[in-house]
Amino acid sequence: MTSAVEAHAIQGERVGLPVRIRDAAVASAMFAVPAGAAQAVIAYSGLDIAEPLPGRAVCSLAFVRYADGDLGPYHEFAVAFLVRPPGSAPPSGTFGRLRGMAGVGAFIHWLPVNQEFTLEAGRTIWGFPKELADIPMDLAGRVKRCAVRFGGRSAIEVAVKPGAPMPGGAGAPRVEAYSCLDGVTRRTPWTLTPSDVRMRPGGAKVVLGDHPVAEELRGLGLDRARALSTSTVGHLTMTFEAAEEVRG
């Protein structure tokens, strides 16, 4: 396991760790997908898909507007899967699966952004699979919308309908985020503090384009699946700590 340094030089600027996001807004949708197909998508990472139900995995689509943070303002879209911690055995039985879900992490499979600085920082510091794209989004309207485009061609469009307000403190305060870049798999501790949270069952519309990732998502059935749930976060602060290599 490799320890990360405390600061990185990114485009002539010093980025210290932990990296802090002081204001962001998010909309997301979670889907149940075939576990075998999801495992094939992330096989390159060496990680194992979590199965809350036999044969089913969880895929999340999320779009984020970063308004104030150490990496500057930018837009981001994420495709992530719930995964078991490296080296953990598959849980058995209903109660074993429920207990096992407490330790799962989020594997970030695709992470387009619309600014060069965060692109370089994300790839250099944490090994996040960031790539540059045009990411128009609307988080001000009643329905939250986002698209990811390359050279004017759409890869994916997502719309999230409004949900019901959640009590204060709702959300996941700490997440183990996993990434794999250039054959190296890393784990990054990630702390979140959300407010103005809304959730609902269903509530997402996904339109897929012709990008390779869109073809993968189509293979998972996301162009015709009903979301398990959708959520929006009006204000989110985050802290990203140093990454550790878990495989490479």
Using one digit for the tens of pLDDT, what is the confidence trace for 102-131? 579 999 999 999 999 999 999 999 999 999
Cα gap 174→176, rounded to integer Å:
7
What is the per-residue pLDDT across 140-187, written as a single tens digit (0 to 9) for each? Answer: 999 999 999 999 889 999 999 999 999 875 555 889 999 999 999 999
Size (the chain), residues: 248
Q: Read off the pTM.
A: 0.92
* Among 109, 105, 227, 88, residue whose Cα is nearest residue 172: 105
Tokens in use for 6? Answer: 């405390």
Q: Indicate the fold that domain 7-247 takes in CATH.
A: Acetoacetate decarboxylase-like (2.40.400)
Residue 1's pLDDT band, with cuts at 50, 70 and 90, is very low
pLDDT reported for residue 247: 84
**pLDDT grade for 24, boundaries at 50, 70 and 90:** very high
Instruction: Give the separation between CA 87 and CA 39, rounded to whole angstroms.
Output: 16
Is residue 207 within 8 Å of 218, Cβ to Cβ? no
Mean pLDDT of 3-11: 78
The domains of the chain are located at 7-247
- pLDDT tens per residue, range 87-98: 777 666 554 555
pLDDT exceeds cutoff 90 at 75: yes
Mention every residue, 6+ apart, whose C-beta is less than 8 A from residue 138. 144, 145, 146
